[in-house]
Amino acid sequence: MTRRRSRAVLAAGLAASVLGLTACSDDAETDPVAAASDDTLVVYNAQHEQLTEEWAEAFTEETGIEVVLRNGNDSELGNQLVQEGDDSRADVFLTENSPAISLVENAGLLAPVDQATLDQVPEQYRPASGLWTGIAARSTVFVYNPDELTEAELPASIMDLADPSWQGRWGGAPGGADFQAIVSAILDLEGPDATSAWLDGMKDNATVYQNNIATMKAVNAGEVPGGIIYHYYWFRDQDGTKENSGNTELHFFGNQDPGAFVSVSGGGVLASSENQDAAQQFLAFLTGTTGQEILGTGYSMEYPVASGVAANPALPALDSLQAPAVDPSNLNSVEVTDLMTDAGLL
Amino acid sequence: MTVTSVRTPRSSPPSIALIVVAAVLAAVLLVPLGYVVSVVADVGWGTLEPLIFRPRVGELLVNTVLLVVLGVPLTVLLGVGGAWLVERTTLPGRRFWAIVLVAPLAIPAFVSSYGWASAVPSIHGLSGGLLVAVLAYYPLVYLPALATLRGLDPALEESARSLGLGSWAVFARVVLPQLRLAILGGGLIVALHLLAEYGAFAFIRFDTFTTAIVVQYQSTFAGPAAGALGVVLSVLCLTLLVGEAAARGRARYARVGSGAVRAAVPVRLGTLTAPALLALTALGAAAVGVPLASVVRWLAHGSSWSQPELPSALTQTVLLAGGGAIAAMLVALPLAWLTARHPGPLARLLEGSSYVAASLPAIIVALALVTVTLRVLPGLYQTAFTVVLAYVMIFLPRALVPLRAGIAQAPVALEEMARSLGYPPLLARLRVTVPLLVPSLAAGAALAGLGAANELTATLLLAPTGTRTLATQFWSQASAIDYPAAAPYAVALILLSVPAVALMYAQSRRWGAR
């Protein structure tokens, strides 16, 4: 009797759990991808959410194609795409920096970008392979607090920051893809031994922050005299409340120094996408006049790289920055994370 | 009806179906542990060894161990001290303070960290981590201590006094030993929370294993370095679990004898009243006042409420957390039934495995499910189902504990009576036993669901593309240092937590009064 009773309750319970769980998994409202029509473009987005949302809205308005974003970090989404392989639901991948998209390119997962799109972008901002294209650019800068550092004390090269004299005097966000891209430029320009030594110096000298904004905020508050960030965080804050940058200045390294590295943000179409047409349209839109003007006039403060669109007038001209020549397809994210793991920064 | 007939379960053997279902569920719950073992097997010790034995892991180990070694005693001190003050002394306004002391539980630790970071921007490192975590988690000791103190028989203390012990000696030698289970159990939960916490520590630059795993994940996705750190973290968690079980000992704490427990005579605080009130005020201000003041300050910032994503984040949070709560109850039901009605080695094994599974931090559960769904079950990858499954794995004990108590308290005799009156067995169970379980089902579902609504790490890693919950939206705004934009999400998270905290508080009072 007990046995029959238990079995009956259990059968009921099991049926209910199966029903309950499938009900949850079919829940359209919690899964926009499943709910959306097949035409919806799935973008794995490592660019700033706000910027890509501006892009996506304008694109939807122009073409009627809906866009959903999966937001994450460059390396996270890049590695995720590699692990997902052909099963990925992504149609387009947008990065903040090129190493992550090179990773996906090297795994053979990208489809060639339409020639018409490539023609909109000058050669130095895209790889020779034509498998992805630059969509924006950002410059490395040293943000500093003039109360703590005089102009004469500023580092001439980013490499100086590994010197013991800089102990406790600068900060950065090594966990972020931006910083890792800067390290990849150092690796490309200075080689593995110098990079390794520089990272060891950073481990001793630098205060580690969660991201660029937190670094800038700490410099602004006088917690640390200087920090390595990208230019647009500072210009955005200056354009707004100046709450996190009012007490700071920018120092551009220039002089083809690794610290003057200009990082190219990439966009590519996944070869496994069943939405090739819409995906190519999206890249064409981003690199076209409307897409680039959103960079030039919108909140972003990143540099436009295509269609001859001018940068926000508040920014120094991109060609005045004396950036070192770095081929974006050479930047290696795997070796960088390994070196940073060895140095104990990750 | 005597107490014995209610409590003693019939030790009939469980049905095969029950065993199979419970075993399958327990096996699913062990997937994260299996993942940790497979990382070691897959990646191989050769690759893992340099990733584990490196200075960075040493730093993380020092940070994490110090956090637990210093944090747990502090939470015990605050939790037990607070409970004693409001339960056993002449402190003015005891009912008010009893509620103030539990209130921090309604503020998720990462919201509290955001509050502190915006009030004191320079807060960071071990001291900052300790401050935020101890203030956020001491109620986890306070609640069981409150319940235990309430249920203690004052006769024991009176005997000790009559044998010549003073007040402090009575507290140390009679009261404290009886609080052992509450302290150990609460301490274990605090320690596991400390090991699993991500948001609160990441926000104030305090690196633990969990924050380092998230950073590694963001740099390499589910790579071997993240797995290696995960192995060490899992070992820490399991060590705590085993250590707590061993420290419990075999002593018995139940009161024997006839009659009801008298109310204890409150200890006169006298000149200590003012310092005690001052201490409680300071604690309340630090644990509740500072975070709430920061949230209110940012809300007043004007632009703060123009968050178009807030309604959809609220809907998605409620749907996902609700799914998690229902699923957790459905998984808990057979496990709780088996342990309450058919105790034995098998039941103990299955129950034990569910606790082992739940002791692993959310980041490990998330890494395991990312890996398993990607490699083995691609159909489930990035689906709401996987998020719900993660919530079940993380929050099952919250569902299991009240449900098991509920089943144990539902007299078998009532069901048998119904059957003797001609009801078929299933109907008897549905009509008689299930209604008795409604309160414990509701309690378990509320606790699991509210845990899920505040969950950050697993949701970040597993959520379907385009999904935003209150916690992930809060996190994305707060970590971009957009404090005003994060504030409305903080308010929503706090308001969602209040009912669960009220429920836990009510339960601790009821258990104590039993």
Contact A24, B385 (CB under 8 A): yes
Pull the structure tokens for residue A220: 């602004």
* Mean pLDDT of the A216-233 span: 95
Reported as type and span, the H/E element at residue A335 is helix A333-342
Put simply, whether A24 touches B (Cβ < 8 Å) is: yes
Question: Is residue A48 annotated as involved in ligand binding?
Answer: yes
Q: CB within 8 A of B414, min separation 6: which ones? A: B432, B433, B436
CB contact under 8 A, A69 and B466: yes
Higher pLDDT, A240 or A256: A256
Put simply, whether A57 touches B (Cβ < 8 Å) is: no
Question: Is residue A209 annotated as involved in ligand binding?
Answer: no
In chain A, what residues touch B54 (CB-CB under 8 Å)? Answer: 341-342, 344
At residue B11, the pLDDT reads: 53
At residue B348, the pLDDT reads: 81
In chain B, what residues touch A20 (CB-CB under 8 Å)? Answer: 323, 326-327, 330
| CB-based burial label for B140 (10 Å; 0-12, 13-18, 19+) | buried
In chain B, what residues touch A220 (CB-CB under 8 Å)? Answer: none
Burial B365-393 (b: 16+ CB within 10 A, else e): bbbbbbbbbbeeeeebbbbbbbbbbbbbb
Question: Is residue A251 annotated as involved in ligand binding?
Answer: no
* Mean pLDDT of the A189-197 span: 96
Q: Which of A2, A9, A24 sits opposite B385 (nearest CB)?
A: A24
Contact B16, B334 (CB under 8 A): no
Q: How far apart are CA B148 and CA B161, in angstroms?
A: 20
Put simply, whether A116 touches B (Cβ < 8 Å) is: no
Per-residue pLDDT for A275 more than 80? yes
Q: Which of B17, B205, B381 sits opposite A208 (nearest CB)?
A: B205
Most B CBs within 10 Å, among A92, A233, A341, to test the B interface: A341
Contact B465, A32 (CB under 8 A): yes
Q: What is the CATH number of domain B31-254?
A: 1.10.3720.10
Residue A12: closest C-alpha in chain B: B426
Q: How far apart are CA A154 and CA A164, in angstroms?
A: 15
Most B CBs within 10 Å, among A31, A109, A299, to test the B interface: A31
* Mean pLDDT of the A222-235 span: 95
| DSSP, residue by residue, B230-246 | HHHHHHHHHHHHHHHHH
Higher pLDDT, A120 or B118: A120
Q: Which of B215, B223, B334 sits opposite A175 (nearest CB)?
A: B215
Taking residue A114's Cβ as centre, other Cβ atoms within 10 Å add up to: 19
Q: Which of A20, A75, A87 sits opposite B326 (nearest CB)?
A: A20
Q: What is the CATH number of domain A37-137+263-316?
A: 3.40.190.10
Put simply, whether B56 touches A (Cβ < 8 Å) is: yes
Q: Which long-range contacts (CB under 8 A, 24 or more apart) does B244-253 make?
A: B244/B184, B244/B185, B244/B187, B244/B188, B247/B184, B248/B180, B248/B181, B248/B184, B249/B180, B251/B180, B253/B178, B253/B180, B253/B181
Window from A22-31, A51-60, A246-255 with minimum mean pLDDT? A22-31
Most B CBs within 10 Å, among A7, A9, A68, to test the B interface: A9
Residue A164 per-residue DSSP state: G
| Least Cα separation, residue B489 to chain A (angstroms) | 18
Model-level pTM?
0.85
Q: How far apart are CA B422 and CA B413, in angstroms?
A: 14
Per-residue pLDDT for A112 more than 80? yes
Put simply, whether A54 touches B (Cβ < 8 Å) is: no
Put simply, whether A30 touches B (Cβ < 8 Å) is: yes
Shortest CA distance to A38 belongs to which of A278, A284, A281, A285? A278
CB contact under 8 A, B465 and A82: no
Put simply, whether B302 touches A (Cβ < 8 Å) is: no
Question: Is residue A125 annotated as involved in ligand binding?
Answer: no
Q: How far apart are CA B492 and CA B471, in angstroms?
A: 9
Q: Which of B12, B207, B383 sits opposite A25 (nearest CB)?
A: B383
Fold of B295-514: MetI-like fold (1.10.3720)
Residue B202: closest C-alpha in chain A: A210
CATH 1.10.3720.10 domain locations along chain B: 31-254, 295-514
In chain A, what residues touch B203 (CB-CB under 8 Å)? Answer: 210
ipTM of the complex: 0.78
| Least Cα separation, residue A307 to chain B (angstroms) | 30
Most B CBs within 10 Å, among A1, A10, A211, to test the B interface: A10
For A71-106, the pLDDT digits (tens) are 888 888 988 898 888 888 899 999 999 999 998 999
CB contact under 8 A, B221 and A76: yes
CB contact under 8 A, A75 and B21: no
At residue A284, the pLDDT reads: 97
Residue B433 per-residue DSSP state: I
Q: How far apart are CA B482 and CA A220, in angstroms?
A: 16
CB contact under 8 A, A211 and B216: no
CB contact under 8 A, A31 and B383: yes
CB contact under 8 A, B319 and A34: no
Confidence bin at A37 (pLDDT 50/70/90): low
Contact A263, A98 (CB under 8 A): yes
Q: What CATH class does A138-261+334-342 carry?
A: alpha beta
CATH 3.40.190.10 domain locations along chain A: 37-137+263-316, 138-261+334-342
In chain A, what residues touch B429 (CB-CB under 8 Å)? Answer: 5, 8-9
Q: Going residue by residue through chain B (514 aa), what tens digit of pLDDT does each one get?
A: 334 444 444 456 778 888 888 889 888 999 998 988 888 888 888 888 888 888 889 999 999 999 999 999 999 999 999 999 999 899 999 999 999 999 999 999 999 999 999 898 888 899 999 999 999 999 999 998 998 888 888 888 889 989 988 888 888 888 888 888 889 888 988 999 999 999 999 989 899 999 998 888 887 776 788 888 888 999 999 899 888 888 877 777 777 666 777 777 788 888 899 999 999 999 999 999 999 999 999 888 766 677 788 999 999 999 999 999 999 999 999 888 888 888 888 888 888 888 887 788 888 898 889 889 988 888 898 899 999 999 999 999 888 888 888 888 888 888 888 888 888 877 888 888 888 888 888 888 988 998 899 998 899 889 998 898 999 999 988 888 888 889 999 999 999 999 888 988 887 777 655 4
Put simply, whether B321 touches A (Cβ < 8 Å) is: no
At residue B302, the pLDDT reads: 63
CB contact under 8 A, A84 and B381: yes
CB contact under 8 A, B215 and A87: no
For A149-168, the pLDDT digits (tens) are 999 999 999 999 999 999 99
Residue B55: closest C-alpha in chain A: A344
Q: Going by DSSP bridges, is the β-strand pair A226-230/A170-172 parallel, antiparallel, or unpaired?
A: parallel
* Mean pLDDT of the A132-154 span: 95
Q: How many helices (H) and strands (E) does chain A have?
A: 13, 10
How far apart, in Å, are the Cα atoms of A197 and each of A181, A337, A342, B114?
17, 15, 11, 35
